[in-house]
Amino acid sequence: MSFVVVIPARYESARLPGKPLLEIAGKSMIERAWESAKQSSAAAVIIATDDRRIYQVARDFGAEVAMTSTKHSSGSDRVQEVVQNLELSSDQIVVNVQGDEPLLPPELIDRVAINLEENPSAGIATLASTLTNNSEFNDPNVVKVVRNKGEFALYFSRSAVPRSLTLKNSGFGLKHIGIYAYRVGVLNKFVKWPVGDLEKIEQLEQLRALENGTQIHVGMVEHELPKGVDTQADLERVRDYFSSVQA
């Protein structure tokens, strides 16, 4: 199986301006994310950005970089521009890896691509893990997913779903992991669909795919994953980790 990884990277961030270029133990965050993705089985790893500063830094550490439009509203749009310019076939698989996930295990990149290939009725594949505490279950910043017996998504929400008095009693609490594998043909359609009503309500773009009848395979990850970098506290935690493993 052959697949491509695209890492969308934009300079602006409400909580951490210039986030891709923030330093983590001597390297930029985007370089850390790129290094992890390069350890996967991807045929190519491409950074997609609309910012010349990110472009130059990425070129300097040896990455393949694509300059993209400044008008994109999401990472998916940016990824689609890259694969369109590469003229990939409609059945080719592309994995969208977030640039603020420097601790993402490379085997999960392989996993989500394999899951998509092995489920031909799915247009998109993603991952989830079991929620282990009620604070996350009720945290709107932690996206929950409900899937059917065939491992396909029924719904994604920022609310605690399915409804339950306690996480322990629900037995269904799954935390969405924000990595996506797309078939290129599906991604090309996805970016042309208008933003859906559910997407507006939840602020989750994957609901646009569900609203338009695209099946999303949700594979399970059995162990707890490191959190991405959204806040200054997250950044300090990741810095401490890399400093400790390099010591």
Domain ranges of the chain: 1-101, 105-225
pLDDT the model gives residue 43: 97
Calculate mean pLDDT across residues 181-186.
98
pLDDT of 164 above 70: no
How far apart CA 76 and CA 73 sit, in angstroms, is 9
- Token pair of 126 as six digits: 């993603």
User: Domain 105-225 - what CATH class?
Assistant: alpha beta
Percent of the chain with pLDDT over 90: 71
Please tell me the predicted confidence (pLDDT) of residue 172.
62
Closest among 205, 203, 183, 208 to 193, alpha carbons compared: 208
- Would you place residue 245 in the very low, low, confident or very high pLDDT band (cuts 50, 70, 90)? confident
* Residues in a beta bridge with 217: 125, 152
pLDDT tier for residue 137 given thresholds of 50, 70 and 90: confident
Res 145 pLDDT > 70: yes
Q: In the predicted model, what is the mean pLDDT of the chain?
A: 91
Q: Is the pLDDT score of 62 beyond 90? A: yes
Tokens of 183: 């078939």
Q: How confident is the model at residue 167 (pLDDT cuts 50, 70, 90)?
A: low
User: 99 near 7, Cβ under 8 Å?
Assistant: yes
Give the span between the Cα atoms of 88 and 70, in whole angstroms.
22
3-state SS record for the chain: CCEEEEEEECCCCCCCCCHHHCEECCEEHHHHHHHHHHCCCCCEEEEEECCHHHHHHHHHCCCEEEECCCCCCCHHHHHHHHHHHHCCCCCCEEEECCCCCCCCCHHHHHHHHHHHHCCCCCCEEEEEEECCCHHHHCCCCCCEEEECCCCEEEEEECCCCCCCCCHHHHCCCEEEEEEEEEEHHHHHHHCCCCCCHHHHHHCCCHHHHHHCCCCEEEEEECCCCCCCCCCHHHHHHHHHHHHHHHC
Q: Is the pLDDT of residue 247 over 70?
A: no
Q: Which of 212, 160, 218, 221 has the alpha carbon at shortest distance from 190? A: 212
Q: Could you tell me if residue 62 is left (phi over 0), alpha (psi between -120 and 50 degrees) or otherwise beta?
A: left
Q: What are the Cα distances from residue 11, in Å, to 50, 89, 99, 101, 193?
A: 8, 30, 11, 15, 26
State the architecture of 1-101 in CATH terms.
Alpha-Beta Complex (3.90)
Cα–Cα distance, 102 to 225 (Å, whole number): 12
Tokens read off for 241:
């980790």
**Given this chain, do its domains 1-101 and 105-225 carry the same CATH topology?**
yes
